Amino acid sequence: MRIALVSEGTYPFTVNGVSVWCDQLIQGMPEHEWEMVALAVDGNERRLWSAPGNLKRTHTIPVWGSRPPGRGPRGRVASGPPGSGFLSAFAALLSAALAPVDRDAQIGPARTLAFLWALEGLGEYAASGGDLCSAVMSDAALRLTVDAWHEQRPTSKDGPMTLADAVNALSLVEHFLRPLSAVPPKVDLVHSSMNGLSMLVAMAVKWRYGTPVVMSEHGMYLRERYLDQLDGGTSHPVKVLVLGFYRQLASAGYVVADALAPHAGLNRRWQLRGGADALRIRQVHNGVEPADFPQPEREPAVPTIVYMGRIDPIKDLHTLIRAFAIVREEIPDARLRIFGDTSAANSGYRNSCLDLIRELEITGAATLEGRVARQVDAYHRAHVVALTSISEGFPYTVVEAMACGRPVVCTNVGGVAEAVGDAGLVVPAGDYRAVARACGWLLRDHETRAALGAKARRRIIEHFTLASSLDAYRRIYGELTAAGQPGPAQPGPAQPVPGGAG
């Protein structure tokens, strides 16, 4: 088969868990030819992964760079009839995104179908030569946005949407929709690593060629988009439109996918809540090759906690640093070693971690050491591996550390507890005192630490190997591409939604 693998902000330009997973799939299935579709920032990213021989092509779609050159005649949007082409599709998208959340068994799914119909119409507009980026930022689209707000959000508690709000919201939506303007690859199967913008690529391929789609889920995509909006910086109407767009897109992704392969039980529950058909869900855990993560012969000379992963607010390193400051009071020679890349967007967060280390007077004991050549080396430098994220899927850091026979201390988010089982310690997210107690106990208690480490490695070998993960994907691929295999029904033109989108 020729398979398109789609991901946002990861392989081959970033070293993180999703990138590891992408590389595992491509190299682990040499019988297939692969094309990578990478949603990137601006297209100038440096490739960090060497391309395996069966990776035949990488398509890069810059999502956040400057607007691409126009592809269609300017003014085309404004000159068309109000209810035709781009305008009718965009009006339906706005109506579905701005409608208040409704758990009605008919209204919610109907809005999702209306949103899907809108996306398909926008994709057709771009494929026929229309300049989708300019169209979204046109005066006609701005008027539609303000009108849709007042129609869907008429109550005074939401307040009015100003023209500035509409401009700010559409400047984001324009970026979100860029994957619909890319030429979809012609392949036998599409595998999206996550929901959200990656699924726009999968949708475009399916609409153009009838290609089956598999969706995996790393992290909790929709939940993390909500977390992104907690920091403020945008007005209430902009937040409502952006989150409404993401919410409808997530549900649309669940409808379009022929098979859903969540990595954790929590992902599966979110999928069902978002409208997924339970019969299409086949849970597949992330796996590792135990031989690549051997147990070290000895422990470090001084008590050491290690974090391995990207430097990102969602990893909540502030909680880990505060916890370590408490551990340091009880174990004066303890060390905290933080390994991982920092993206340009997260340089401010890295600086905040360094500021906190100085504020807590643990400089030299707690260090940010950047990227490590081999992740296994980071785990071997630890007595305990810690992960204090506020959101996760089924993190590689945990299973890799466990494969090395290192006990883990993790926060109870996503599929972490599912991965750890009784082979580590799981504490509430954000509770730095609980993290400190758990880490301190394991650093002091050699017997418990050794017992948990041995149990952790056994758990990986029994449940979370790379071979079992790849075999599960092979079965899914075979089911979807078997001769005469019927695909799921495709949504037709959406019917009017009671009290909402049409």
Which CATH number characterizes residue 93's domain? 3.40.50.2000
The first and second tokens of residue 54, run together, are 């069966």
Domain identity same for 451 and 488: no
Quote the pLDDT of residue 174.
97
Residue 483 pLDDT more than 50? no
In angstroms, the CA 62 to CA 39 distance is 6
| Nearest of 59, 9, 40, 202 to residue 119 by alpha carbon | 202
79 falls in which pLDDT band (50, 70, 90)? very low
In angstroms, the CA 407 to CA 452 distance is 6
Domain identity same for 276 and 412: no
User: Would the pTM count as exceeding 0.75?
Assistant: yes
Residue 387 corresponds to which amino acid?
L
Domain identity same for 320 and 264: no
193 falls in which pLDDT band (50, 70, 90)? very high
**Share above pLDDT 90 across residues of the chain, in percent, rounded to a whole number:** 79
Between 276 and 434, residue with greater pLDDT: 434
Residues 200-222 pLDDT 10s: 999 999 999 999 999 998 888 88
Residues 301-332 pLDDT 10s: 999 999 999 999 999 999 999 999 999 999 99
Residue 500 pLDDT more than 80? no
Domain identity same for 281 and 321: no
Domain identity same for 215 and 322: no
CA distances from 273 to 104, 105, 269, 394 (A): 12, 11, 6, 19
Domain identity same for 50 and 142: yes
End-to-end, the C-alpha distance of the chain in Å comes to 39
Is 171:151 a contact under the CB 8 Å cutoff? no
Residue 414 pLDDT more than 60? yes
In angstroms, the CA 389 to CA 266 distance is 15
Quote the pLDDT of residue 227.
86
Residue 75 pLDDT more than 70? no
Quote the pLDDT of residue 8.
95
Quote the pLDDT of residue 232.
67
CA distances from 257 to 122, 193, 269, 278, 388 (A): 19, 12, 16, 12, 32
Quote the pLDDT of residue 106.
61
Residues 17-33 pLDDT 10s: 899 999 999 999 999 99
Residue 266 pLDDT more than 90? no
Mean pLDDT of the chain: 90
| Nearest of 104, 103, 132 to residue 120 by alpha carbon | 132
Residue 335 corresponds to which amino acid?
R
Quote the pLDDT of residue 76.
46
Task: Beginning with the edge strand found earlier in the chain, give each strand of the sheet holding 55-62 in spatial order.
Answer: 55-62, 33-40, 2-8, 189-192, 213-217, 259-262
Quote the pLDDT of residue 274.
86
| Nearest of 36, 43, 2 to residue 22 by alpha carbon | 36
Domain identity same for 335 and 376: yes
**Share above pLDDT 70 across residues of the chain, in percent, rounded to a whole number:** 91
Domain identity same for 403 and 282: no
Residues 361-377 pLDDT 10s: 999 999 999 999 899 99
Residue 139 pLDDT more than 50? yes
Residue 492 pLDDT more than 80? no
238 falls in which pLDDT band (50, 70, 90)? very high
Quote the pLDDT of residue 15.
86
Domain identity same for 97 and 114: yes
Domain identity same for 2 and 149: yes
Domain identity same for 469 and 446: no
Quote the pLDDT of residue 69.
62
229 falls in which pLDDT band (50, 70, 90)? confident
Domain identity same for 258 and 392: no
Least confident of 283-292, 419-428, 448-457, 493-502: 493-502
Q: Which long-range contacts (CB under 8 A, 24 or more apart) does 209-212 make?
A: 209/184, 210/487, 211/187, 212/258, 212/259, 212/480, 212/481, 212/485, 212/487
Least confident of 18-32, 91-105, 180-194, 250-264: 91-105
Is 442:247 a contact under the CB 8 Å cutoff? no
Residue 65 pLDDT more than 90? no
Q: Number of structural domains, the chain?
A: 2
Between 232 and 474, residue with greater pLDDT: 474
Cα torsion 49, 27, 190, 397: sign: negative
Task: Name the residue range of residue 450's domain.
Answer: 290-463
CB-based contacts of 453, cutoff 8 Å, min separation 6: 295, 405, 406, 407
In angstroms, the CA 345 to CA 353 distance is 15
285 falls in which pLDDT band (50, 70, 90)? very high
